[in-house]
Structure 1
Amino acid sequence: MRKRISAAVVGLAVAGTSFLATGSASSHGYTDAPLSRQKVCANGTVTNCGDIIYEPQSVEGPKGFPAAGPADGSICSAGISRFSQLDDPRGGTWPTTKVTSGANYTFRWTFTANHRTTDFKYYVTKNGWNPSQPLTRAALDPQPFLTIPYNGQQPPMSLSHSGTLPSKSGRHLILAVWTVHDTANAFYACSDVQF
């Protein structure tokens, strides 16, 4: 009897450890409005994307952007080398989401783990940026055009919020940053848009 109980406890411990180990790999979130690069890779619109097709929700790096966070040139991958295909500008040919300059837009996040949240911030590239180069801080307007405070609350598994898009024209990139409240990390999502 004692051997069966011990075996059951060991089995539960192994199962729990396996669940925790795999749970973190399938956790977190991404933007699907506007469509993020990780989403267009995961849904098959873009090919040759590497591991991101399995984990579009896992683009997680240090928080504190723009003063901290991923290095220039690796912002779209959050500095994760196995997701480096997200940093490849592909000659400026990533599919775009059509948006209207100065209009109200509804941003949407899909979460697989809805962490307590500090805020959501949205940055856009400057006029005249080069879409055939990897994203750098210098290519972005210095201030976010939209900040949604979340004050440590936990969002639902799908979250939408609206804000006014900046006055722009042509092809641009929107960088969405979801700052987790109780960890040292944030999630990054790059969306190519056409104003």
Structure 2
Amino acid sequence: MRKKLTSLLVGLGIAGSTMLATSGSAQAHGYTDSPISRQQLCGNGTVRNCGQIQWEPPSVEGPKGFPARGPADGRICAGGIGRFSELDDPRGGNWPTTKLTAGQSHTFVWRITARHATTDFRYYITKDGWDATKPLTRADLDPQPFLSVPFGGRQPGATVTHSGVLPQKTGRHLILGVWTIADTGNAFYACSDVRF
């Protein structure tokens, strides 16, 4: 009887571990909510035909070290994850945009569903003349982040906010948010389409 009970408990433990390993919430981590990211637009149903990212908006995790390393050009918005490739599809330049005012302060918001020791949060923006109908490349971005927020290895809370002055831009642009994790080889990526 004891052997059967032990086998049952082991079986339940394996099944439970498998469920946690494959469920979206167990693998979730974080995304930008302001300005709203492509993955959140998919997750909340604003944008359709998004594939798997609609169930896992916080899971866009790829290699850290951007821009020297990290996801390949054309695969940046999906963090280099093939199953989230819909985030790299420019959709003819028709992703919904958040209206921003150039030169003004903006509060950036991340929703964190799994806390990680953090190196920093960095924000890049596309150059003037960027083509919104093509997948994002490093050459499309200003080389330096317009906002960097060091975190010194601390763990963030469930919501992280930082204020920063927006660059002087006009028209449609894309902001790439990069949340760099301190104790793994990865970072989280979030592309937000904006209009100044």
TMscore range, shorter length = over 0.9
CA distance, structure 2, for counterparts of residue 92 and residue 34 of structure 1: 17
Aligned to 1:13: 13
Secondary structure at the residue paired with 2:175? strand
The answer for the alignment partner of 2:47 in structure 1 is 46
Q: Which amino acid is the alignment partner of residue 134 of structure 1? A: P
Work out the CA distance in 2 between the residues paired with 1:116 and 1:16: 26
* Per-residue deviation, 1:16: 4.9
Indicate conservation of the 8 Å contact 1:25/1:58, yes or no.
no
CA offset at residue 3 of structure 1? 2.5
Listed one character per residue, the Cα deviations across residues 61-114 of structure 1 (whole Å, up to 9, x for unaligned) are: 000000000000000001111110100111111000001101110000011101
Count of matched residue positions in the alignment of Structure 1 and Structure 2 = 195
How far off is 1:25 after superposition?
A: 4.9
Identical amino acids, percent of aligned pairs: 66
CA-atom RMSD in angstroms: 1.5
State the shift of 1:18 in Å.
Answer: 2.5
SS in 2 for 1:133: coil
CA displacement at 1:12 relative to structure 2:
5.2
Equivalent position of 2:139 in the other structure:
138
1:89 aligns with 2:129: no
TM-score under structure 2 normalisation? Answer: 0.94
**Matched-pair contact (CA < 8 Å) for 2:176–2:189:** yes
Alpha-carbon separation, structure 1, partners of 2:19 and 2:157? 22
- Report the CA distance between 1:158 and its aligned residue: 1.0
Aligned to 1:109: 110
**TM-score of the superposed pair, with normalisation by structure 1:** 0.95
Kept in 2, the 8 Å contact 1:25–1:55? The answer is: no
**How far did 1:8 drift?**
5.3
Counterpart in the other structure of 1:157:
158
